[in-house]
A and B are shown apart, each in its own frame.
Chain A
């Protein structure tokens, strides 16, 4: 081998092999496990697709699929729309801009488990911050509908700055002369947004939506701590349901099948995301 070929493989292979061992192998191993009934202390039994059949006749699992979709739809929609509005508002010289920007980044790095517990105290019905501050009595955590909304709000608190920051970066990459040329034609701000800003921003917008969707499907820590999946099963998202099946009931085969279904749900978005990232490189 030429030294150049050798060195480039030497640089790349350890990391590439790492992904193979810790991502690709576990992925297929999980798929393999989903074909078994795994009994601790007993013999593993090959049962083909029975775990998947069970999934489709398990009302709790199907409910978890529904809850997950509702959560993803609700939180991504709210975050992208509000993030876009705020990015448009902030895309101009503002006083204290650096400080505001810093404040906005902080929730993004807040520990999700802590976010869940913190919002538990915020949404607590007697003496919590929201009900106390607004003098309302909303059953945030004991009503199924509100519990899902509470989770979406906590998630939005954490992630809205993500949408904001990326969309702002997208807005700032639009060249000024395009706007200057447009200003000669029209002063209608809506027209400028629709014919200039929006087309330029579109790839960024698509990227943000796809990144948020794939990330939102992973949701685990916030419902785990804020509502523990409750009340009843109202906020039991798919990753939590799979975790329970595996780590509480030690039904590893079925848990693997549920996890794999969680992957299937998001797979389409992952494909679109990769396509959009490849274009950007």
Chain B
């Protein structure tokens, strides 16, 4: 047994400094979420009278009236519905378009342009500042008569998330042993059969993760939602910004709306942790 050194704060800090550092960091990440929750269950009258950390029960009596009031508004419900439809529609769209493309890039070789260049081609949207295409796409949607429709937002969000699905699925297919597919081919299966019944089935976890990340990103998208979906196709972020425009910043509702807005993407993020590094570095790092 090691000889026990007497406990002292300095020795404790020394031994656990790394742990303490990461805990502080985790606290820094968590604090704003806590603050939003604290605001959302506070009586509007107590917004500025309760100070400091504003701990519920200790410093004030929590209430659910803000939640009830916010969720009863028709506009909020419609924004939630719009955001859900657009996010799910996008996820399905990127899967249908992106998975075959990723399969082609991982299984077949293209000479001109080469596979790598195709992958970069898909990434071009991801790095281009979106502001560059806002006005042209606004005008295109005007021509197609799609302004202020959910379809318009699904179309642009498919564009934004396609690279993500292509890079995640490309890596997933590359990690799959080719022998399985070759065996099936010897048995006379067609390419489409092999893709659907073997490759896609075996990479389902990656596909699900890519779709969930696309859902979260679509849910969060603001610039195009603001430009193309002013009224009928208003999403949660636009609804949030709009409510503030008309009524000023009401802290208690900000608390509620922040949690409504952040809830779904944050929960999705927890489900797909393993794929996040791969997705965010465009597959340059496996993570």
- Which residue of A is nearest B259, CB measured? A114
B131 contacts A242, CB within 8 Å? yes
CA distance A252 to B131 in the complex (A): 12
Q: How far is the CB of B273 from chain A (nearest CB, A)?
A: 6
**A residues neighboring B (CB under 8 Å):** 3-4, 7-12, 14-16, 18-19, 22-27, 29-30, 33, 86, 89-90, 92, 94-95, 99-115, 117-122, 124, 126-127, 129, 132-133, 157, 160-162, 164-166, 169-170, 204, 207, 211, 214, 217-218, 220-221, 224-225, 238-239, 242-243, 246-247, 252, 255-256, 259-260, 262-263, 266, 270, 273-274, 276-278, 280-281
Pairs A–B under 8 Å by Cβ, sample size 20: A11-B104, A15-B97, A19-B122, A22-B125, A22-B158, A27-B132, A27-B136, A86-B25, A101-B273, A106-B266, A107-B32, A109-B265, A111-B265, A127-B47, A157-B32, A224-B222, A259-B129, A259-B131, A259-B134, A270-B127
Asked whether, in the complex, the Cβ of B21 is within 8 Å of the Cβ of A89, the reply is yes
Residue in A closest to B20 when the chains form the complex, CB atoms: A89
- Contact: B285 with A207, CB < 8 Å? yes
CB proximity of A215 to chain B, nearest CB, Å: 8
**Which one of A27, A106, A119, A127 lies within 8 Å of B133 (CB-CB)?**
A27
- B contact residues, total (Cβ < 8 Å): 102
Question: Is there a chain A Cβ closer than 8 Å to B18's Cβ?
Answer: yes
B229-267 Cβ-contact flags toward A at 8 Å (1 or 0): 000000011101100100001010011011001100110
**A114, B30: Cβ atoms under 8 Å?**
no
Main secondary structure of the interface of A (DSSP, over half): helix
Known A92-B18, A121-B39; 13 more pairs at CB < 8 Å: A15-B101, A15-B122, A16-B101, A18-B97, A22-B125, A95-B19, A100-B23, A107-B32, A114-B258, A169-B287, A225-B244, A247-B134, A263-B132
Name the contact of A117 in the complex, choosing from B33, B51, B244, B265 (C-beta under 8 A): B244
A266→B270 CA distance, assembly (Å): 32
Indicate if B139 sits at the interface (CB-CB under 8 A): yes
- The residue that B254 contacts in the complex, of A94, A121, A132, A161, with Cβ under 8 A, is A121
CB-based contact A256/B135 at 8 Å = yes
Q: Say yes or no for B22: interface residue by CB 8 A criterion.
A: yes
In the complex, how many angstroms separate the beta carbon of B23 from the nearest chain A beta carbon?
7
Contacts of A165 in B (CB 8 A): 276-277, 280, 287
Q: Report B-chain residues with C-beta under 8 Å of the C-beta of A132.
A: 51-52
Q: Using Cβ atoms and an 8 Å threshold, which residues of chain B touch A107? A: 29, 32
